[in-house]
Structure 1
Amino acid sequence: MTRWRATRWRAPVQQEPSRGRRRRSWVRCRERWNTPEVNFGRPTRRRIGVALTAGLLLAACSGGSDDAGPEDPTTTTAATTTTVALDNDLRLNQIQVVGTHNSFHVAAPPEERALLEALAPGQVAERTYTHPSLTTQLDEEKVRQLELDVFADAKGGLYADPALRRQAGLPPLIDEIPELAEPGTKVLHEQDVDYHSVCPSLVSCLTELKKWSDANPDHVPVAVNIQFKDGPLIFAVPDQAKPEKWTTAAMDALDTEITSVFPAERIVTPDDVRGDRATLEEAVLDDGWPTLGESRGKVLFLMINAEPYRSLYLAGHPDLNGRVLFTNAAPGQPDAAYLGIDDPVANNEKIADLVAKNYVVRTRADEPDVEARTGETARRDAALASGAQWVSTDYPGPRGAKDQYGTDYLVELPGSVAARCNPVTAPDDCDDTTVEP
């Protein structure tokens, strides 16, 4: 098991469909059968699913060789029937999707870029990526994970007059985006210098996502990564805005903003996953995640930050009771369920081990101005092969980096599907084309 995990990422992932899934499945099923993951505690619906899975694993492991087992001629069914079976059996953590890093980001205009380059040489190159609208990302680029950087703005107007824009002599931003004057969480990368966004507020971003979700009710769950920001700029910009500090009360307000757009039945929450278990981690490790059928048409929210934001969010809500976001918590913590691990090359085996235990992971296929400029794909291939459920990029297909850098670099799943069977956790008979038909 360890050996194939350590080497899988080196294989070019784009060379589907020959993934050798049957051989790896034999190793996986044999290991699962001999681990505590297969247990038969109280007869909840999820435990019944685990028990059925265990029976199938035992049957699968009882014959054949390490190389392959005989193909079952009865497995060919209509796509609809297969999708129904997937919905009943495949779980949220057994799929993989591509997402975008800083999904809101729009590069600054030339006037502002010139000022920033003079102020901090070399910094502009890392901020030149631009995403289209969230709807275009979801529709045309088949993105199923978004990332939003959020700034508290309880009174409104805190980020409505960026310093770099004033220095560049551009028209007042408030005239262009009156919404910035209103109270509520704002979405931008950095105050004053890198603030252009396809959706300026959290509510506007989520409203656009919900509109798309309403029109596409069978989509796999869309993950929204939230990064709390409240620090000073790393640049010596005069008259810069001083961000409002995130507090537990401000995070309460953020939860309220989320639920003002998405009703509870459209969100996969920590309470949903925990059920009647003592802790969220216990539920994840022993019961697993909701099925695909239970989570289609829904969203879930994940916290990118670790401390001190995790503790602020947990205050008054032990084990995330009543909270919307899943925290970024280390294994062994009661709220551990999701981890953000940026580097899939250095942490390939670690990611594979975590997802095999039922944790969910977000990793990054590239860094701005690195892989896209050179066309190097080793990190991308490592990310896709690691088993991370969400692979984040600045260059999703079919857009990629061709227009910006002239390279063929892009990140998409084999077959250009919106979601596929997870290469580490999905069962052997999972069909990529039916995960999101």
Structure 2
Amino acid sequence: MCRFKAFSLVIITAFFSSSGLADTCTNTQDLEKHNQTSARLKINQIQTIGTHNSYKRALPAAELSTLAELLGEETAESLDYSHVSLEEQLNEGARQIELDIYYDPAGGRFTSPLLPEMTKNQPGSREFDPSVMASPGFKVFHMQDIDIWSNCPLLEDCLTQIRDWSLSNPEHVPILLMFNTKQQKLPEINGTDPLPYTSTAFDVLEKAFLAVFDSEQLITPDKVRGKYTSLRQAVLAGNWPSLEQSRGKFIFLVDEGIDVTRAYLNESNNLNNKLFFINSVSSDDENAAIFVKNNPIEEQQEISALVKQGFMVRTRADASTREARNNDTRRFEAALEAGAQYITTDYLFPREEWSSYSVRLPDNNVARCNAKAL
């Protein structure tokens, strides 16, 4: 087990002492604020913290107990985490937000989830209001039937909360808003099957985002590509926008494999005229720009290599509640050292009945200089 306070002093010294980086990365100033360092950086040259499944509310005790009976104690334990509201997370410095988005064009698909129904009126249960799921449109929650509690079950509400916070705090470093397009079936419980994401569904999803965000607030693949033939060429040439140009803006990322992103591309080359970046599958792919690498211990060298080439990487400091239960910061340490630009956690705040584990940058900064990316 590793303790964060002791580690912080070591990582600050190592991170900023590399030869040739002294002029740019010798300070520990918070890049959320304007300063001499931030004026010289591009958006791939920072490091910041975000949250995983940022919308998630805690499962009621009765549902956790029933889930353990249905799918096992390990599954129940892995889902025993939650977050404060999106606004509170952003106030606390989260600069990467993650949503799970279900396609529900007719509405009503998720109005009768299994676990709330099974535990209804039991001690430790919570009443489920089906009306919020009845309206047409995209829904935001973790897993149909077994983990449906959300601080913003309607996508429009999630996006509006994030946008409104941004408009009130227009100098923030760029926020990575990544999302899964949820369509996995759960045959173990014979529950509700999500709808697939076709190219039509993605078109509707883009329109849902653009109904909330102004195009001037967005960093898109076209803007990064610029004059280059491919997005990859632009990234390797360092064509990311500057940090100062990008304050108050957003990057949208589809975190899915090639089978899903193929439907989004829909014969488009280089993400032409697309709103979202896609999870890159290879540094040789012409659409390569942002990678999702979830295990910074096993993938530390790969993350560092990608960052040094100019790509962006999002990784995770913790997963399935294990690190918080054991006060284990090894993943977080590896993520920092690897230079991943966005490091997500389920623990902006400690779960005090387990340990003091929480994830923040040293000095509680919102964003700092990323020496690996220079």
Q: Same fold (TM over 0.5)?
A: yes
Look up the match of 1:346. 298
Moved more, 321-330 or 213-222: 321-330
Q: Residue 379 in 1 paired to residue 331 in 2?
A: yes
**In the alignment, which of 18, 27, 32 is matched to residue 24 of structure 1?**
18
Alpha carbons of structure 1 residues 233 and 249: separation in structure 2 relative to 1, 3 Å: same
Paired amino acid for 1:337: A
CA distance in 2, matches of 1:421, 1:133: 27
CA distance in 1, matches of 2:11, 2:303: 23
Q: CA deviation at 1:13?
A: 4.2
Partner of 2:373, secondary structure, is coil
CA distance in 2, matches of 1:23, 1:378: 21
Look up the match of 1:207. 160
Q: CA deviation at 1:187?
A: 0.7
Q: CA deviation at 1:379?
A: 1.2
**In the alignment, which of 157, 171, 184 is matched to residue 137 of structure 2?**
184
Q: What 5-or-longer segments of structure 2 have no aligned partner?
A: none
* Aligned positions, number: 363
Look up the match of 2:77. 125
CA distance in 2, matches of 1:352, 1:157: 45
CA distance in 2, matches of 1:79, 1:113: 39
Q: Residue 100 in 1 paired to residue 48 in 2?
A: no
Alignment of 1:19-418 (within 5 A): 19-21=13-15, 23-26=17-20, 83=34, 85-122=36-73, 123-139=75-91, 141-169=92-120, 173-175=128-130, 178-233=131-186, 235-237=188-190, 240-329=191-280, 330-396=282-348, 399-403=349-353, 405=354, 407-418=355-366
Look up the match of 1:5. none
CA distance in 2, matches of 1:11, 1:130: 24
Verify the 8 A CA contact 1:16 1:414 in the aligned structure 2: no
CA distance in 2, matches of 1:376, 1:222: 27
1:28-57 per-position Cα deviation (integer Å, ceiling 9, x unaligned): 69xxxxxxxxxxxxxxxxxxxxxxxxxx99
Alpha carbons of structure 1 residues 326 and 212: separation in structure 2 relative to 1, 3 Å: same
Look up the match of 1:434. none
Instruction: Indicate the percent of aligned positions where both proteins have the same amino acid.
Output: 35
Q: What 5-or-longer segments of structure 1 have no aligned partner?
A: 1-9, 30-55, 58-70, 427-437
TM-score, normalization by structure 1: 0.78
CA distance in 2, matches of 1:11, 1:134: 27
CA distance in 2, matches of 1:23, 1:88: 20
1:240-274 per-position Cα deviation (integer Å, ceiling 9, x unaligned): 21111111110111111111111100011111101
Alpha carbons of structure 1 residues 148 and 79: separation in structure 2 relative to 1, 3 Å: closer
Alpha carbons of structure 1 residues 246 and 18: separation in structure 2 relative to 1, 3 Å: closer
Alpha carbons of structure 1 residues 282 and 13: separation in structure 2 relative to 1, 3 Å: farther
Verify the 8 A CA contact 2:58 2:149 in the aligned structure 1: yes
Partner of 1:384, secondary structure, is helix
Paired amino acid for 1:154: P
Q: CA deviation at 1:142?
A: 1.2
1:221-254 per-position Cα deviation (integer Å, ceiling 9, x unaligned): 11111111101115324xx211111111101111
Structure 1 vs Structure 2 CA RMSD: 2.6
Paired amino acid for 2:275: V
CA distance in 1, matches of 2:357, 2:70: 30
Partner of 2:164, secondary structure, is helix
Paired amino acid for 2:176: A
Alpha carbons of structure 1 residues 16 and 201: separation in structure 2 relative to 1, 3 Å: farther
In our comparison, the structure showing a higher alpha carbon Rg is 1
TM-score, normalization by structure 2: 0.90
Alpha carbons of structure 1 residues 310 and 372: separation in structure 2 relative to 1, 3 Å: same
Verify the 8 A CA contact 1:11 1:381 in the aligned structure 2: no
Verify the 8 A CA contact 2:232 2:287 in the aligned structure 1: yes
CA distance in 1, matches of 2:182, 2:328: 31
1:340-368 per-position Cα deviation (integer Å, ceiling 9, x unaligned): 00111111111111101110000111112
